[in-house]
Amino acid sequence: MTTPDRIQSVETTAPDSLCIKFRSGKVYAISLAAPIARIAGFAALRDMAEFNTAAVADDGWTIEWACGLSMASDRLYQMAKEQAGEALPQDEFRDWMERNHLSLTTAADALSLSRRVVSQYSAGSRPIPKIVGLAIKGFEAERRAA
């Protein structure tokens, strides 16, 4: 996935949230509650003092914490877009494919997209535009009506 830019600054804003400013000037609020609760490796970030050590690293390509945990700017960007309602969450896209028994090729045909783009959406390597989310809802509505 392509990020719009590297991270300029990060600020912790709640026990599990960050405010990230990208060098392009875009600013996003991101909740990390789900990965902190779900991923054992992120358990250290449940400690507010540890979470507050978030800092920009690798010339803006990652955010790191004092305990050694890090998150890449592209994943943070994707999460930010999803949480802001600007992108469809990857798991919803994969669930749609599974629910409708679609391969990458048949999903691409259904959405009039290339197989490569659908593969990138499915793998989480590219944010899924809001319009694609609307298209998959329309796809399912048409199937129900048929």
Two structure tokens written together for 126? 């590219």
**Each residue's pLDDT expressed in tens, for the chain with a length of 146 residues:** 444 579 999 999 988 999 999 998 989 999 999 999 999 999 999 999 999 999 999 999 999 999 999 999 988 988 888 888 888 888 899 999 999 999 999 999 999 999 999 999 998 878 888 899 999 999 999 989 98
> Considering Cα of 146, then 122, then 111, then 141, what sign does the dihedral take?
positive
Please name the fold of domain 7-83: NE0471 N-terminal domain-like (3.30.2020)
Residue found by looking up tokens 């809802």 in the block: 137
pTM: predicted TM-score of the whole model, two decimal places: 0.74
Say which residues have a Cβ less than 8 Å from residue 29's Cβ, sequence separation at least 6. 13, 17, 18, 19, 80, 83, 84
CATH of domain 87-145: 1.10.260.40
Q: What ranges do the domains of the chain cover?
A: 7-83, 87-145
Are 76 and 19 in contact by the 8 Å Cβ rule? The answer is no
Cα gap 35→16, rounded to integer Å: 10
Q: What's the pLDDT score for residue 1?
A: 42
Task: With CA atoms as reference, report the closest residue to 36 among 10, 77, 67, 57.
Answer: 67
Two structure tokens written together for 16? 């599990």
Backbone angles phi, psi at 23, to 5 degrees: -65, -20
- Bridge-based pairing of strands 27-31 and 17-22 is antiparallel
